[in-house]
Amino acid sequence: MGERPRLQNNRPKPKPSIIEMKLPSPVQRRHSRIEIIPLIDIMFFLLASFMMVSLQMDRTQNIKVNLPPSTQAQHDFKPDMLNIAVDKAGDVWLEKKRISLDELSIVTSNRFKADTNLPVFISGDRDTLEGVMQVVLERVRNAGVQKVAFTVGGNEAQTPTNSP
């Protein structure tokens, strides 16, 4: 048995290395930091501001009436709605303006011609006679409006429910 041949190192010979030299800069480098706590404070302030503004935007153009209570009321707010209110004396109000039943028919039919998907909310005082509410409903239906709801008072706020 013969001796094993020795492996020769076939690696290339290393070249002389170049040494890099770091020169200091005359201007001192500053590390910047982002402070996160003031940013969080600003975001909470903006959130609170937007919440307060949005709460003030949710108001309907209607007179104040004493609404009858309801146990199954659902909130349904739409900006393109028609608010009709009937007070205790039987006067009809349209967006805080007192109008007659004939004017109500004209206004309702004109608004319905402009928007055939017009929702109408009728609210009446608890002490309003039922006959006046029926006349108002009849005038709204004669104008062609199909989406009619009566506004009733819930446990905590005024909320509309769909009519049968």
> What are the two backbone dihedrals, phi and then psi, of residue 79, each rounded to the nearest 5 degrees?
-70, -25
Rg of the chain over CA atoms, in angstroms?
Answer: 38
**Does any domain span residue 7?**
no
Count of residues in the chain: 164
Residue 143 inside a domain? The answer is yes
| Mean pLDDT of all residues in 122-133 | 82
Query: Would you say the pTM of this structure is higher than 0.75?
Result: no
In a domain, 25, yes or no: no
Please give the pLDDT value at position 44.
Answer: 94
Which residue segment(s) compose the domain that 120 sits in?
Answer: 82-162
Whether residue 55 lies inside any domain: the answer is: no
Q: What is the mean pLDDT of residues 114-132?
A: 83
Look at residue 158 in the predicted model and tell me its pLDDT. Answer: 44
47 is a domain residue: no
For 35, other C-beta atoms within 10 Å of its C-beta total 7
Tell me if 20 is assigned to some domain. Answer: no
| pLDDT tens digits, one per residue of 28-82 | 777 777 788 888 999 999 999 998 888 776 555 566 767 666 665 555 544 577 8
| CB count in 10 Å sphere of residue 1 | 3
Indicate the number of domains in the chain.
1
In a domain, 57, yes or no: no
Q: Rounded to an integer, what distance in angstroms lies between the CA atom of residue 159 and that of residue 74?
A: 6
Which CATH number do you get for residue 137? Answer: 3.30.420.270
